[in-house]
Amino acid sequence: MGVEYQPKKSCNGGEEGHCDSASGDHPLILGLLPSALVDHVAKVDWSLLSQIPGEPGGSFPVENEELEHILREVKVHSLSSLDDSSSSKTIAGGSVTNTIRGLASGFGLSCGMVGACGDDQQGKLFVGNMSSYGVNLSRLRRKKGSTAQCVCLVDELGNRTMRPCLSNAAKIQADELIREDFKGSKWLVIRYAIANMEIIRAAIRIAKQEGVLISLDLASFEMVRKFRLPLLQFLESGNIDLCFANEDEATELLRCEEGANPEAALEFLAKHCKWAVVTLGPNGCIAKHGKETVRVPAIGEAKAVDATGAGDLFASGFLYGLVKGLSLEECCKVGSCSGGSVIRALGGEVTPENWQWMYKQMQTKGLTIPSNAK
């Protein structure tokens, strides 16, 4: 099952440049990745989470030394035996990456990435992982330097705590983006990050000139909490067509206002975006488009092996629904199916078995499964 892959040329060291030769292709959906990221995902006991900086459950940036320390401690605090390969994995990571990989591998849509990766071993791993799913990397610049990394710690309950390290990572600059990067695409997927706002604004400006729609993920409750005012101004610009927020992010968005809750946040987002979605974990999601508001329950078992990527894969399903012209409720149902598929295993990469599980759930719900499903 899965996508029928076309062979691609991948990064192979040497001069700086692009990561494959498919520059003439125009992916339907693009992901903006200022700095490519590799995820180290591991199941750990709770004691490790209490020893590292930041609150459990969120995302808190660390420096290289702290990243290496956490990776060493992971070996000590692993929940599984050392010979259990399912206790940890290293894959291309990041919210946008998870969404794009899901769209390409599970839904068979033409997808690409625009951004930069380092010319190190982690960069090669990122390129190899994404290329294996047929993601177009002709817009991903290969640069001298390191590739960003993130440790994703998963506790006994399936909750994930992320510690990204972006120090000195290879990064695309705003003035390197060109119209050809976005020509022919329909959607650009971005993640809110205050450190990347210059790049994000440049990408949106050029994408809009090409008639590309913008999908925004609010990243994390910490990002919303610390940089709420710039985010509000960003949303009020009118450039965001679709916005995804989870329950914690939605609460932070309106924390200074009376009666702040996910429903109120949905109404606020819908004033500035054509489509607004607030995911509610095991309670499903709520969404609004124009005057229509829907509430859809979660699909599948409530117990998650690992919540990493649940919101990202929900976005994959929802975007697939929009591309296929499905109703708002159907988009939410597909999103719930795809979001439910990724929490059944470790990391933000859906296994072939769990894609099959998703297709079965879609059929049960009366949804047409993607043409690439086998």
Residue type, 289: H
User: pLDDT for 105-159, tens place per residue?
Assistant: 999 999 999 999 999 999 999 999 999 999 999 999 999 999 999 998 988 887 8
Name the least confident of 22-36, 98-112, 192-206, 330-344: 22-36
What is the CATH code for 29-37+94-147+169-365? 3.40.1190.20
pLDDT in the model for residue 352 = 92
pLDDT in the model for residue 198 = 97
User: pLDDT for 59-105, tens place per residue?
Assistant: 778 898 999 999 998 888 887 644 444 678 899 999 999 999 999 99
Two structure tokens written together for 269? 């987002």
Closest C-alpha to 191, from 219, 230, 154: 219
pLDDT in the model for residue 9 = 38
pLDDT in the model for residue 301 = 62
Closest C-alpha to 137, from 101, 112, 111: 112
Cα–Cα dist 178/196, whole Å:
17
Task: Return the residue matching tokens 């808190």.
Answer: 60
pLDDT in the model for residue 85 = 47
Residue 168 and residue 146 in contact, taking contact as beta carbons nearer than 8 Å:
yes
Backbone angles phi, psi at 43, to 5 degrees: -85, 125
pLDDT at 230 over 70: yes
